[in-house]
Amino acid sequence: MKLNKIILSFISALAILFSTSVVSLAKVVGDKIVLGAAISLTGKYSSNGVHTQNGYNMAVDRINSMGGVKVGGKTYKFDIIYYDDESNPKRAAQLAERLISQDGVEFMLGPYSSGLTKAIAPVTEKYGVPMVEANGASRSLFTKGYKYLFAVLAPANLYLDVAIDLAVEKNNGKGVTVAMAFEQDAFSQDVRLGVLDAIKRTGSKKVIDDKLPKELNDMAATLVKVKQMKPDVLVVSGHTKGALTAIRQISEMKVDVPMLAMTHCDAAKLSKQHGKNSQYALCASQWHKTLTYKDKFFKDGMTYDADFTKEFGYAPPYQAAESSAALLVFKDAFERANSFDQKKVRDALAATNMQTFYGNIKFAEGGQNVDKPMVLFQVMCDDAGKCENKVVAPTKWASAKLIHPIPSWSKR
Amino acid sequence: MDFMVFQYPMISVQACLDGVLLGILFALIAYGMALQWGVMNIINIAQGDLVILGGYIAYFMYLYGIHPAWGVIVAPVVMYFVGIAIYKLVINKVVDRDLFISILATFGISILFMQLMNFAFGADVVLANSDYGTTMLFNNNVVLPNSKIFSAFISILFAICLVIYMKKSKLGRAIRATAQNARAAKILGVDTEKVYAATFGINAALCGVAGALISITFTIHPYMGLPYTIRSFMIVIVAGLGNLPGVAMSGMGLGVFEEFADYILGTEFRIGSVFLLLVLILVYRRFKLSRKREYLK
């Protein structure tokens, strides 16, 4: 009898706990708009996961301290529930389910990486939960007809096609020869498709098309082929691992190539890890602090850079900047929708047309941002070995002139 | 398929040299695995993770302004004690059990190490710069980073030292005796518990050296250990236990095989080709064994 009583009280205690937790975490509580996010705080994406979280937190604090979100004449503040997806797509999808069906979240922020966004998007779509994401650039995210997915960043196929255009421009409009080395993951393969389009469009020719495995840390074979074929451009995309391996082996093997273009240079801290060896590398970036876009919350890139560095102790990579921009988009959409109805907010998001410190934001039918071009920066070092990333393309934003062709190793 | 490697003879030379230098490094890791497999009958799935941990030791020395080459001295010392600690905590409880239990246990250690390294050092890919420069051969047609040559040289040095140690020292003799027959060695007064601990420590130390060399030559990341485990497993399977020249030859052979697979099949099949080779060799061995069995009948 006594045991029964204990079990009964235990169950009722659990029930009370469960019901209060659901109530307290519902979408809009009192003056709080609760957003949900599954972020990679552990596992292989944890560095960029933390950048994403810091970007979100920075924007939440800034928006809340500058008056919050005004809906229906009332002021609300942002709050985010975070879960750690352990860099695992399956876990991310489970957590999205949990956020929506257990915690009652009605608006989501994206995770880090294309792979994890791909895992979460079907869940948010199923429940009709608007999701603004800032770190999933794979083209396949925007061709599935998702109605509730919005990405503030440019899609992956636009990362490096600018480099091919630039090389053709330097070659007096004539086609160039291109060597390509891309990792076999959703993102890099989309970057590859973009480069292939650019090669076709400009009448260029691909001479090497290597695929790099995920566990690779040696690309000597590709580089030997590059030495032999002497292409005009070498394009590499394999996240931070690809960027670091490429620079290390290019410098060790003294591979001379007129133009070297890659992704993830700032996430790989190229100039810090490789110093002068990384000089002249062209890097695709979603954002750079010297761009002159403006908004009233973060003012401009330089101010964002300074404020972020002050708060978190390191300079913001573009992953942090785009994450902050996602919150600005949500705020704008809530105010225009003037409601917390998911459909109305979704429609308001679809009609977004605004400028943030990170860039212009306007969504296409598929949810990708079509109003923000990618920038290319080049690593430039002074005689003392101090290296800096300077924007060289597009010309409108350029803060330095492109150094082309890259001087050969024997002359450095 | 791309047969460029055969069209340009210099690329073949480059592939062979790269493969041999890389293979020597693999052989060092495999030798550690063969040693403890032979002595303790344990297949260590965490082998690659011990390598990566050794790499982080050299990397942190580099971060604090010490040349990472000193890592080949510091990493084995630290890793020896890490190895002893793993033995005392886990391995001594599974050493007499069947192979499956020990594989499970070391698999667990592998996952734990990956997560701990990720937690402690972060998920960034890192490397240690040695600034050793490059050696150009054959009218600059073949380039060899000096860091790879340094790695191969140090690997050979450690292998020679270990062979001498195993032949001449008391502990080395005890290790060899235990490998031959643990029970007989015990009866004759060898403290097998101590021998097991030392063997696991020596294996971890070898992994430490290899890790330090990998951080100088390639890149390291908490989740990059498994390919090194697979490669050393493969080398040991081919060479057999307790056969050092065999391990060295099969290491170099694997290195060259990988390089050629990379050129011919494409970089994406590099690790895949190692798996394929492993399967083929296992099938061949089984075939050979079954023929032998028939003959015995």
Other C-beta atoms closer than 10 Å to the C-beta of A261 total 27
Strand partners, A375: A285
Interface with B, mutate which of A39, A41, A42, A44 (most B CBs under 10 A): A44
pLDDT at B215 over 90: yes
Contact at 8 Å (CB) between A122 and A100?
Answer: no
Q: How many A/B residue pairs have CB atoms within 8 Å?
A: 102
Q: Among B70, B47, B44, B46, which Cα is nearest to B57's?
A: B70
Residue A133's pLDDT is 95
Nearest to B271 among A42, A44, A213 (CB): A213
Sign of CA dihedral B269, B270, B274, B280: positive
Taking the C-alpha atoms of residue B29 and residue B50, their distance in angstroms, rounded to an integer, is: 10
How many structural domains comprise chain A? Answer: 2
Taking the C-alpha atoms of residue B45 and residue A78, their distance in angstroms, rounded to an integer, is: 46
Residue A14's pLDDT is 57
Whether residue A13 lies inside any domain: the answer is no
Tally of helices (H runs) and strands (E runs) in chain B: 13, 2
Which residue in this structure is represented by tokens 């009709």? A128
A201 touching B (Cβ < 8 Å):
no
Please spell the DSSP secondary structure of A137-183, one letter per residue: --GGGGSS--SSEEESSPPGGGSSHHHHHHHHHHTTT---EEEEEEE
Q: Tell me the shortest Cα–Cα distance from B33 to chain A, in angstroms.
A: 21
Whether residue A35 lies inside any domain: the answer is yes
Whether residue B225 lies inside any domain: the answer is yes
**Residue A398 sits in the same domain as residue A314:** no
Residue B138's pLDDT is 82
Q: Say if the Cβ atoms of B219 and A221 lie within 8 Å.
A: no
Residue A26's pLDDT is 47
According to DSSP, residue B87 is labeled I
Q: Say if the Cβ atoms of A253 and B145 lie within 8 Å.
A: yes
Taking the C-alpha atoms of residue B114 and residue B96, their distance in angstroms, rounded to an integer, is: 26
Whether residue A69 lies inside any domain: the answer is yes
**Residue A150 sits in the same domain as residue A165:** no
3 state SS of A238: coil
Q: Which domain holds residue A323?
A: 24-154+291-362
A219 touching B (Cβ < 8 Å):
yes
Residue A240's pLDDT is 83
3 state SS of B236: helix
**Residue A179 sits in the same domain as residue A133:** no
Q: Which residues of B touch A244 (CB under 8 A)?
A: 125-127, 219
Residue A24's pLDDT is 41
Q: Tell me the shortest Cα–Cα distance from A207 to chain B, in angstroms.
A: 12
> What is the arithmetic mean of pLDDT over B282-292?
83
Tally of helices (H runs) and strands (E runs) in chain A: 12, 18
Spacing of C-alpha A333 from chain mean position: 21
**Residue A234 sits in the same domain as residue A320:** no
Give me the CATH number covering residue A209.
Answer: 3.40.50.2300
**Residue A241 sits in the same domain as residue A303:** no
Q: Which domain holds residue B212?
A: 17-296
Q: Among A209, A198, A210, A201, which Cα is nearest to A164's?
A: A198
Whether residue B6 lies inside any domain: the answer is no
Give me the CATH number covering residue B121.
Answer: 1.10.3470
Whether residue A263 lies inside any domain: the answer is yes
pTM check: above 0.80: yes
Q: Say if the Cβ atoms of A224 and B115 lie within 8 Å.
A: no
**Residue A299 sits in the same domain as residue A329:** yes
**Residue A98 sits in the same domain as residue A244:** no
Other C-beta atoms closer than 10 Å to the C-beta of A364 total 14
Residue A19's pLDDT is 47
What ipTM score was computed for the predicted complex, to two decimals?
Answer: 0.82
Whether residue B12 lies inside any domain: the answer is no
Interface with B, mutate which of A48, A113, A217 (most B CBs under 10 A): A217
Whether residue A10 lies inside any domain: the answer is no
Residue B134, by phi and psi: left (phi above 0), alpha (psi -120 to 50) or beta? Answer: beta
Whether residue A369 lies inside any domain: the answer is no
Residue B289's pLDDT is 81
3 state SS of A294: strand
Kindly state the tokens that stand for A58: 């920075």
Which residue in this structure is represented by tokens 């600005």? A328
Residues written for chain B: 297
Other C-beta atoms closer than 10 Å to the C-beta of A412 total 12
Taking the C-alpha atoms of residue A133 and residue A151, their distance in angstroms, rounded to an integer, is: 5
Whether residue B4 lies inside any domain: the answer is no
Taking the C-alpha atoms of residue B63 and residue B50, their distance in angstroms, rounded to an integer, is: 20
Which residue in this structure is represented by tokens 């190539």? A257
**Residue A243 sits in the same domain as residue A318:** no
Q: Say if the Cβ atoms of A217 and B219 lie within 8 Å.
A: yes
Taking the C-alpha atoms of residue A384 and residue A381, their distance in angstroms, rounded to an integer, is: 8
Taking the C-alpha atoms of residue A66 and residue B160, their distance in angstroms, rounded to an integer, is: 69
Lowest mean pLDDT among B42-46, B86-90, B261-265: B261-265
A44 touching B (Cβ < 8 Å):
yes
Q: Which residues of A touch B129 (CB under 8 A)?
A: 248, 273-275
> What is the arithmetic mean of pLDDT over B28-37?
91
**Residue A187 sits in the same domain as residue A39:** no
Whether residue B96 lies inside any domain: the answer is yes
Q: Among A136, A115, A134, which Cα is nearest to A327's?
A: A134
Kindly state the tokens that stand for B163: 């062979």
**Residues of chain A with confidence (pLDDT) below 70:** 1-27
3 state SS of A316: coil
**Residue A189 sits in the same domain as residue A84:** no
Residues written for chain A: 412
Residue A6's pLDDT is 67
**Residue A137 sits in the same domain as residue A74:** yes
pLDDT single digits (tens) A19-36? 444 444 446 777 899 999
How many structural domains comprise chain B? Answer: 1
| Contacts of residue A47, Cβ cutoff 8 Å, sequence gap at least 6 | A267, B122, B123, B124
Whether residue B280 lies inside any domain: the answer is yes
Q: Say if the Cβ atoms of B226 and A215 lie within 8 Å.
A: yes
Residue A1's pLDDT is 52
Q: Say if the Cβ atoms of B270 and A253 lie within 8 Å.
A: no
Whether residue B10 lies inside any domain: the answer is no
